[in-house]
Amino acid sequence: MESIITNNVSDHQTEQFNNTSIINHIHEETNKHIYPCENNNDNESSTKLTDDDELIAKLDILLIDNSLDSNIYFHSYQSEKEMSSIISLISSTLSEPYSIYTYRYFIHNWPDLCILCSDRQTNDLIGAIVSKLDLHKNTLRRGYIAMLAIKKDYRRQKIASKLVLRSIREMIKRGCDEIVLEAEVSNDSALNLYENLGFLREKRLYHYYLNGVDAFRLKLWLK
Amino acid sequence: MQETIGDTTYDWTDATSHFADLCRHLPIGEVVRDADFTLFEAMTALELMDPKMDGGMSIKHHFQEQKQGNRILTLKQLIDKQLLKITKFTSSELIYLFDQLLSTFHMWLDGHSLALTLFTCVYLHDVTIIDDSHLRTICFTFIKLVDYIRERILLKAGLFEEEDFSGTLTYNFPFYRDFKEQTCLTDLKKSEDELNKRLRSLKHQTELDQVDINATQQLIYRIRFLRYFFGLTVKFNEANEKTGEQTYLNTEEISKYLKQIDEMLQLIRPSFIIENETTPTDDNSQLNISQTLLTDISRSFDPYYNYRQLPPAFNRFIRQLIFPSFVYKSLVNICQQLRKMLEINDKRTLKQSFEFFLEYSTHEKPSLFIRSLLLLSYLPSVQGCLLSSRKIFGQISFAEQVKCEIRSFIVPPLLTLKSISIDNETLSCSENFFQRACVPFSNLFYSLCNNHARTREKLSNLLEEFSVLQDESEKLDQWLHKYLIQQIVQANLSTANAQTLLLIEKTSYFFQFILNWTLLIMEYYLLMGFDLSLYSKRELYDVYFYFAQIILFTHINVYKTSKNILNTTVPFLVQLNQKQQTNKNQINNQFIQQMNSLIQHNSNDDPLAELTNENNATQKKTKRKNPNVLVATNNEYHEQELLLIHGHFAMSTAMHRCLKALDIERRLKFSSNDSNYFLRDEIRYRHRFLPFANLCAPPYMPHTDFLHIQHLSDNRYTASELYQDAINNFSQAKTYFETYLNRITTSKQYQQQTFNRTFTTGFTSLIDAESYIRIAKTNGIVLKLLLGGHKPDVKIDFDFSLHAHYPTLKL
């Protein structure tokens, strides 16, 4: 697992650049034409509430696991003071550059979905997950994992999985229907991590990244 | 503070300290966000001075290297300062410029923006300023070439997506629209003649300058190459000069051009820039040009020339130019692809075209440019014409083609009986159906020209259109049942066999036909999931089960139905046609009247032709042999299709049987009840097969039914029974695919015209079938070992390296 566990937000970047020449202001909720082939048949999800509770209970149990170093602890985003360390952690591991506005867009709007992992002793930031949850096509509560990064020395300890699980738990509590993200086709460690949790490769995104590499759109269907 | 950039002078005011003062009053984290400021704005916002984001930073770096002050010199300024020449170019200089331009052209075709490719050549910004006629002609041609490809090919085909291509923006670059393509071609010829004169005089000099002779000769080849390539390009989707109307693909002319281009590419030695002349090389395949010879034109390309015109996005990397040797090699490849593409012209049925499109996109992996040419060759785009109303090869409407296709697939009386006269209501009812079929069928071919990832998405949308068409076809069948039987009974045939009549009465002709295409699309859609490696190992069971037990099972029945109809009713229909014809040329059936020329043109594919022609030996001799029809005599209708579908059926049945057995024995590397796994089987199943949910046939199998059927089939057996059955199925699959291969390779056509291995029936090519055979063989052996209790504790993994569609089992 030498390679970095990352996935990039350029989803919106590339998909929306499509329209830049004509429209400058695209509101998120009007992205209908951007995701053309999704459909939601909710006829089989009548037992929604109990399902969610069940999932949350399952997650709670999973997250109790104490194999981790006791100095490592998880917490959600508190204040702008943490911003610079988040940015430096993430920008050192992700290839594509994000402006401060991108970070603020996610973190200020969904501070609870920005979950951090730090070392109690050194007070260093070890890992971070940045995600959001909003309405897709006015009907679907779609969670989106924008960034995930773990400091090099702390990898292979399942910290990334823990961060993702915590993020999933927060999203389920908020009534999430599905969670999506993108990952490079060659990023085996990220693909493994997400697929082991139940994310499926929904589609392939041709030439998705600026470096011309394809990506997979991964999706975890909760309903 | 004044600063001049390009032609504009800016008057800047320094606001740094003022800004810093104001910031001091803000608490940490204070941000005001407008509701309009969405993720899109956030992501496109740039942080000034950040070298990764701010384009100005890399340009600053560039200027520091160039030591030319913070400005780009325009073409005029470069000429005024005598930094760039516009006259008296040596052949070596022209070769260098030509190869560089070709390299940028190649990058543009590859999807990069014009501003970062061709128009980094400063000469292109004002071609008229160039004194040298050769360079001027070369520059003009490249501009016109790009313009033609952009306007008449890429935009007309409309296949590009932002991930394929960012070269459609024109940035107000000059395109010299008044300058005609023909003028370019004439000028290139003139240039060539002039250079030939120069070459002759060089050869007659007392002291031979071998370097110059070689260079001039090479330059001539290049210019001739450009003339042919441009000539070839403007032959695609060409508009008639006088009427402005579409002209159609002229394969002979294009083949001629391709041959000439190939010849030139053989002769051209790609340029290679060397630091100094003293390094001798034996490598004769490249044309070495010393750096010292190019000092006068060192400023001819500036990668930053248009930098400030680029949109404020992150895609600002300056790409290194690719070597001419690579460019020429890939041009050879483009020619090969084009030559293969011309084969579309021989595909006379929808099925053949469909197979060709699949085969071409799978095995040639064509670029956007080639994919656009394929679509425009098949469906030429007349100005403002909707996809569905375009004609195949500009000649046949989809409605007509669909009629012919149905006729040869399943011989419905409506389209085969000459004598019946069709009343207006029936006519409009049927015509309506054919018209509606145009949209999904034309969309199908459009979808197949997209990049692979997009094609799959588009196919899932297309299934919705086909489900509507299924409904329509059912209605038409119901209407026609009553009507046709009436007609046939009225004809009062003593020979009328009651059983045949009953069969005709019971058959849903149009529905079967649409179902056949629906299944083809479903099959391709599922298999593309493998091609794009979308399926996780956990869902392989579901996928193979659905593929075999729902889709392929139905498809086998469709082919069998059609085969039965053809075998049983064709003689009857032929007899009926002959009996009713007092006057041989009299045809009452409007549909046959309309289709007649098409039917005659494709008489090889027409099931009725075989029998009618038996009495007519002369006609049979003159029949044009269609090389694409391998076997098409009685009894063997759909034989190859059935072999392949049976093969796939056995293969995927074997796969899900052995997956179940491995699961029972806990020999799978993943477990279906992993504690971390959050996706419930039922949800996964429902979302994966969602595109099939609205089809009326084959009916969607809900997850509860799926579990039920699984219970009745696989779950009833022990692991060893399942292994045994999987072994049997793999061996059957092997036999089916081998029989298919034998049929194809021993056929007359194969021996006559050395068949290519990509030859495709349905969605399966010969190469595919060969790989399937190997996989079936290997898996059979592995399963026998497992059945024998070999290494009981070892987990089994799947290896998709032999073929994406089916894995080999790895012990």
pLDDT one-digit tens code per residue, B330-380: 999 999 999 999 999 888 899 999 999 999 999 999 999 999 999 999 998
Query: How sure is the predictor about B676, in pLDDT bands with cuts at 50, 70 and 90?
Result: confident
SS3 B809: strand
From chain B, the residues in CB contact with A220 under 8 A are 678-679
Any CB–CB contact under 8 A between B34 and chain A? no
pLDDT value for B585: 60
Query: How sure is the predictor about B284, in pLDDT bands with cuts at 50, 70 and 90?
Result: confident
Looking at residues B444-453, what average pLDDT do you find? 95
Task: Give the best residue of A8, A9, A12, A17 to mutate against chain B (max B CB count within 10 A).
Answer: A17
Residue B563 has pLDDT above 90, yes or no: yes
Looking at residues B230-259, what average pLDDT do you find? 86
Task: Give the angle B651-B652-B656 at the CA atoms, nearest 5°.
Answer: 125
Distance from CA of B655 to the nearest CA of A (A): 21
Task: Name every residue whose Cβ is closer than 8 Å to that of residue B766 and which is 6 or more positions away in sequence.
Answer: B741, B744, B755, B757, B758, B759, B760
Provide the 8-state DSSP code for B310: S
Q: Which of B283-287, B350-354, B782-786, B788-792 shows the lowest per-residue confidence on average (mean pLDDT)?
A: B283-287
Task: Give the highest mean pLDDT range of A22-36, B91-105, B233-247.
Answer: B91-105
pLDDT value for B755: 56
In a domain, A138, yes or no: yes
Q: Which of B27-36, B209-218, B737-746 shows the lowest per-residue confidence on average (mean pLDDT)?
A: B27-36
Looking at residues B452-458, what average pLDDT do you find? 94
Looking at residues B76-91, what average pLDDT do you find? 91
From chain A, the residues in CB contact with B686 under 8 A are 41, 44
CA atoms within 13 A on the CB side of B612: 22
Residue B36 has pLDDT above 90, yes or no: no
Task: Give the angle A178-A126-A111 at the CA atoms, nearest 5°.
Answer: 45
pLDDT value for B67: 59
Looking at residues B284-310, what average pLDDT do you find? 86
Buried b (16+ CB within 10 A) or exposed e, B435-465: ebbbbbbbbbbbbbbbbbbbbbbbbbebbbb
Looking at residues B78-88, what average pLDDT do you find? 90
pLDDT value for B754: 53
pLDDT value for B516: 97
A25 contacts B679? CB cut-off 8 A: no
Q: Residues in chain A, how many?
A: 223
Residue B630 has pLDDT above 50, yes or no: no
Task: Give the best residue of B34, B43, B671 to mutate against chain A (max A CB count within 10 A).
Answer: B43
In a domain, A1, yes or no: no
B40 contacts A28? CB cut-off 8 A: yes
Provide the 8-state DSSP code for A70: T
Mind spelling out the 3-state secondary structure of B260-290? HHHHHHHHCCCEEEECCCCCCCCCCCCEEEE
Beta strands in chain A (DSSP E): 72-76, 114-119, 125-136, 140-150, 178-184, 200-205, 215-221
Buried b (16+ CB within 10 A) or exposed e, A89-120: bbbebbebbbbebbbbbbbbebeebbbbbbbe
Task: Name every residue whose Cβ is closer than 8 Å to that of residue B768 and which is 6 or more positions away in sequence.
Answer: B803, B805
Q: Which of A146-155, B439-448, B619-628 shows the lowest per-residue confidence on average (mean pLDDT)?
A: B619-628
In a domain, A97, yes or no: yes
Instruction: Extract the residue ranges of chain A whose pLDDT is less than 50.
Output: 1-47
Looking at residues B686-712, what average pLDDT do you find? 93
pLDDT value for A18: 34
pLDDT value for B280: 59
pLDDT value for A90: 94
In a domain, A112, yes or no: yes
CATH number of domain containing A90: 3.40.630.30
SS3 B468: helix
More confident residue, B183 or B580: B183
SS3 B511: helix
Mind spelling out the 3-state secondary structure of B639-675? HHHHHHHHHHHHHHHHHHHHHHHHHHCCCECCCCCCC
B366-397 pLDDT per residue, tens: 999 999 999 999 998 877 688 888 889 988 99
* DSSP secondary structure, B16-37, as one string: HHHHHHHHTTSPTT-----TT-
pLDDT value for B809: 95
Task: Give the angle B806-B363-B164 at the CA atoms, nearest 5°.
Answer: 105
In a domain, A98, yes or no: yes
Domain coverage including residue A166? 50-179
From chain A, the residues in CB contact with B110 under 8 A are none
Q: Which of A27-31, B147-151, B280-284 shows the lowest per-residue confidence on average (mean pLDDT)?
A: A27-31
Q: Which of B474, B450, B473, B472 is nearest to B460 (CA)?
A: B450
In a domain, A204, yes or no: no
In a domain, A218, yes or no: no
Provide the 8-state DSSP code for A21: T
Share above pLDDT 90 across residues of chain B, in percent, rounded to a whole number? 55
pLDDT value for A95: 73
Residue B759 has pLDDT above 50, yes or no: yes
Query: How sure is the predictor about B608, in pLDDT bands with cuts at 50, 70 and 90?
Result: confident
The owner of tokens 């005609």 is: B180
pLDDT value for A39: 41
Q: Amino acid identity, residue B672?
A: S
More confident residue, B22 or B750: B22
pLDDT value for A8: 45
CA atoms within 13 A on the CB side of B780: 17
In a domain, A207, yes or no: no
From chain B, the residues in CB contact with A97 under 8 A are 50, 52-53, 314
Question: Based on the structure, what is the number of domains in chain A?
Answer: 1
From chain B, the residues in CB contact with A210 under 8 A are 314-315, 317
SS3 A67: coil
pLDDT value for B239: 79
Distance from CA of A217 to the nearest CA of B (A): 10
Task: Give the best residue of B39, B465, B673, B687 to mutate against chain A (max A CB count within 10 A).
Answer: B39
In angstroms, the CA B576 to CA A77 distance is: 83
Query: How sure is the predictor about B313, in pLDDT bands with cuts at 50, 70 and 90?
Result: low
More confident residue, A2 or B165: B165
What pTM value is reported for the model?
A: 0.87
The token duo for B647 is 């093969």
Sign of the C-alpha dihedral computed for residues B501, B503, B507 and B509 taken in this order: negative
Mind spelling out the 3-state secondary structure of B210-248? HHHHHHHHHHHHHHHHHHHHHHHHCCCCCECCCCCCECC
The mean pLDDT of chain B is 86
Task: Give the highest mean pLDDT range of B407-416, B578-587, B683-692.
Answer: B683-692
pLDDT value for B642: 96
Task: Name every residue whose Cβ is closer than 8 Å to that of residue A157 and which is 6 or more positions away in sequence.
Answer: A68, A69, A72
CB B304 within 8 A of CB B72: yes
In angstroms, the CA A174 to CA B173 distance is: 51
A80 contacts B28? CB cut-off 8 A: yes
pLDDT value for B634: 44
Task: Name every residue whose Cβ is closer than 8 Å to that of residue B505 and which is 6 or more positions away in sequence.
Answer: B481, B485
